[in-house]
Amino acid sequence: MLLSIKHQFLFIHIAKTGGTSVRAALARRRWADPWYWPMFVCSRLSHLSGHRIATKLPRHAKAIAAKELLPRERFDALFKFAFVRNPWDLQVSSFHHIRRERPQHLSGHEDFAAFLRWKLDPERPPQYHIDTSIELQTDYLIDLRGNLIVDYIGRYERLEQDFTEACTRIGIQPPKLPHRRQANDRGADYRRYYDDSTAELVAKHFASDIERLGYRFDPSP
């Protein structure tokens, strides 16, 4: 999550949706924000306490956290935005990220299909310890009643175009969007990782995202 009081925006960072690049592009805008240094000090104090003093909006906090913590008039005045990603593509990205950086979480399931069946097994409790990609993306964007509380939802699939639109709405010149944490260990087409049964696993687990965000397994016309 990235908050700028000066520029009146709140970026909700859903993992693996291009958010690291968005944060990097917008970070320099915060340095001129008069609230930056007090927020930085609070962030460091939170880190030193093991995040037990609740003075920091976590990197991947949900929009509802900011709504609960910020004064109502402050939250309402912010331009709140996020980026989302096709759930089938996101799971492929998640698999390669875990295999590359936290292979111990593969739990012996070394290929994508086996890992996905284990991760999304409806007979087992959700494996939330693996990574945040098992959560619904829409949960990051709604309040406790299920109402959407962000102003703009961009798409990973058109990241640069939608980032430019977000900056226009904020009222700033769009900075160059760097390519941060760009993976090079996977193919471009996520569909080749799936068979009918694994594609259906994702369809069932992320049904709310697919319906609300308008995604399909095969995006071609």
Domain ranges of the chain: 2-213
- Dist CA 119 CA 124 (whole Å): 9
What stretch of H or E contains 10?
A: strand 9-12
Tens digit of pLDDT for each residue in 89-120?
999 999 998 888 888 878 788 899 999 999 89
Read off the pLDDT of residues 180-197 as tens digits, 9 standing for 90 and up: 555 655 667 899 999 999
Distant-in-sequence, close-in-space partners of 47: CB < 8 Å, separation ≥ 6: 56
Tokens of 82: 């996020």
Q: Which CATH class is domain 2-213?
A: alpha beta
Query: Would the pLDDT of 41 be above 50?
Result: yes
Q: Rounded mean pLDDT of the chain? A: 86
Structure token pair of residue 166: 């977000």
- Give the C-alpha separation, 72 to 77, whole Å: 9
Q: What is the per-residue pLDDT across 1-19, written as a single tens digit (0 to 9) for each?
A: 888 888 899 999 999 999 9
Q: With a cut of 60, say whether residue 51 has pLDDT above it.
A: no
The yes-or-no verdict on residue 52 having pLDDT over 80 is no
| pLDDT tens track for 137-179 | 999 999 999 999 999 999 999 999 999 999 999 999 998 888 7
pLDDT given at position 58: 76
Please determine, for residue 221, whether its predicted confidence score (pLDDT) is greater than 50: no
